[in-house]
Structure 1
Amino acid sequence: MGLILVTGGVRSGKSKFAEEMARQTANEVLYVATGRAWDEEMHRRIELHRQRRPEQWGLCEIGERLSDSLAEGGKYPAVLIDCLSTWVSGRLMEVPESKWRDEQLTREILDEVEQWLDAVDKSKQTVIVVTSEVGLGGVALSKLGRWFADVLGDVNQRTAKRADTVYAILSGIPWRIKG
């Protein structure tokens, strides 16, 4: 039980690691998908994740409210959320350019994360959450990219602080860095 955060770079193997951890945790897992098929490439990525999941796992596709993932997953002993970075990007992609870096929208996203973390604290489930680490890359060239990095960085830090266990995945190798 508890919150497990799995972080790493893009294509580092973090989703595969989290999926295997979920398999070892419980037979019945709710897979919470945060990605949306914005384009053909994202459609292919979603399909790859779908093919890797055991058929007996439940599926919850969420949009704006991250806390909906636990409401949907009440009957499952384990919940796997893949991933926070895709959830943040989906939230920001819906914002018109004139509102990029809007402090109120940023607060709304961070408040939603805090509400979700509060719900995780009260849950008796094992919650495994995947996210991409943004702190190792350069500064984004676009205003939207910088906003994304700032928001996701805050989301990741808040989640890691409250997580019982944190893994960093580097080139497919997991490093337990907390717990």
Structure 2
Amino acid sequence: MIYYITGGERSGKSSYAQKLAENLTTTPYYLATSRIWDKDFSIRVERHKAERNEYWNTIEEEKFISKVIPVNEVIVIDCVTLWLTNLYIDFDNNVEKALEFAKNEIEAISKINSKIIIISNEIGMGVHAQTHIARKFTELQGWVNQFIAKKASEATFLVSGIPIKLK
């Protein structure tokens, strides 16, 4: 089962996903998809870790996320945007290759017998991207979000910390 949680940056997605996971199990998994790009981001990662109690199991995987998801568990994947950034860079900004890879991974995830909470960002609702590369990434993000939303049993949009049930 896939729970899809989306919204803008700092909208409360991670906190909402964490509470959902903790309501579903006492021993949730957290799948971190990010690469540590700089010191600020490292601090952000450490803050996220501190927000989770000792009952959380952490898995780190930047690309092949379907390969590391345990069966019959509750897993929070945080987040699609950072994962797509990795793919977009690894595929030399080729949207088609990154999209195909992402769809295949999401398809594989949808077949795993676990409760999977996927966090993503709605980046296309903000300021229009100024560069070609950024505009293409926004398109990639939007198409992947749509694909995940179709696969999800439940979808929630967060605005200012308030969850709005989409599906």
Q: TM over 0.5, yes or no? A: yes
| 8 Å contact from structure 1 (residues 85, 152) kept in 2 | yes
> In structure 1, which of residues 78, 83, 90 is the aligned counterpart of residue 74 of structure 2?
78
Gaps of 5+ in 2: none
CA RMSD, Structure 1 to Structure 2 (Å): 1.6
Alignment map for 1:29-68 (pairs within 5 Å): 29-68=28-67
Shift in Å at residue 94 of structure 1? 4.2
| 8 Å contact from structure 2 (residues 6, 120) kept in 1 | yes
Aligned match of 2:86: 90
Aligned match of 1:14: 13
Which deviates more, 80-89 or 142-151? 142-151
| CA distances 1:18-66 after superposition (whole Å, capped 9, x unpaired) | 0110000111211100112111111111011110112122111112223
Aligned match of 2:4: 5
Alignment map for 1:19-168 (pairs within 5 Å): 19-70=18-69, 73-74=70-71, 77-94=73-90, 99-100=92-93, 102=94, 106-168=95-157
For the residues of structure 2 that align with 1:121 and 1:92, how far apart are their CA atoms? 22
Q: Which amino acid aligns with 1:148?
A: F
Q: Secondary structure at the match of 2:125?
A: coil
Shift in Å at residue 124 of structure 1? 1.9
Gaps of 5+ in 1: none
- Aligned-residue sequence identity (percent) comes to 30
Shift in Å at residue 69 of structure 1? 3.4
Structure 1 residue runs of 4+, over 6 Å off?
none
Aligned residues: 167
For the residues of structure 2 that align with 1:147 and 1:121, how far apart are their CA atoms? 26
For the residues of structure 1 that align with 2:110 and 2:80, how far apart are their CA atoms? 17
| 8 Å contact from structure 1 (residues 66, 113) kept in 2 | no
For the residues of structure 1 that align with 2:38 and 2:88, how far apart are their CA atoms? 16
> What is the TM-score of this pair, normalised by structure 1?
0.86
| 8 Å contact from structure 1 (residues 83, 130) kept in 2 | yes
